[in-house]
Every structure is written in C-alpha cells, then in structure tokens.
Amino acid sequence: MSDWSQFTVETVENGMPTEMDNLYRTWMDANPSKANRLKEHVAETLASFRKAVGTQAWVIMDEDPDTIPATGIRHALNMVFFNLGMEMGVQFAPEVYGLNVQANIWLRMAEAGSLKTVEAASSGSPSYGSERHREL
C-alpha cells in the first residue's frame, strides 16, 4: 500500500531544481502573459495521474482531489518540469528525456493495473486478486 501525497503548485515550486527555477523566474519576467502556465501544467498532470490510477476498480481513491499516490510524485514532478521546460525552450540533457519517458511509463502501468500504486479496496480475506500488482 502507498500513501497519497499533495501535488500542487507549491509542491512543484518546492521540488524545482535551482537552475530550472532560475530559468522559470526569468521566463516569467519576460512573459507575464504566461503567469498561469505552471498552474495549468500542474492541473493537467494531477488530472492525468488521478485518472490513470482511478481506472482500476480495486483502487480506493483519496478524497482530496489535489493528491496522487506517493509512488508517482517524482514522476509527476519530472513531467511538469519537462513540459514547462519544453514550453520555455530549455535544451535538456539527453537523460532528462529519459525521466519523461519513465513518467509516461509509470502512468501507463498505473492505468493498465500493472503496478500497485495505492491500497486496494477490501474484499475480505484471503484475497485472490491478481498477484501481478507490485509496489514501486
């Protein structure tokens, strides 16, 4: 079982690498019309992660709409950083593209039920559910 964690603009700002944060602040100063872009990227990523996890009938969704499984936080952060950076015109190192691929793989695996991201709904004991779910 995994816990749920907040995924908000504040979460992203607190997790943003220093160099990316400096680039973002400079970009914002030069493009005040983009003031809501970080918020929009966070909302889109949050919705994608909750939707992917929620497709599994056995998942007990957290009632707080601003949470995602803790196992996906790093992937969600990387996805926001990557998408925001692409919009800003950042030239990423090749390994950063790999982080975005890993985030997308996590999403697809959660959606397919290939990994156990959160607590399953209780159906009594013993449980004879699929054993292919595993913690990541």
Kindly report, residue by residue over 74-88, the tens digit of the pLDDT. 999 999 999 999 999
Tokens found for residue 38: 């970080």
Entry pTM: 0.82
Beta bridge partners of residue 67, listed in sequence order: 6
Kindly report, residue by residue over 54-113, the tens digit of the pLDDT. 998 888 899 999 999 999 999 999 999 999 999 999 999 999 999 999 999 999 999 988
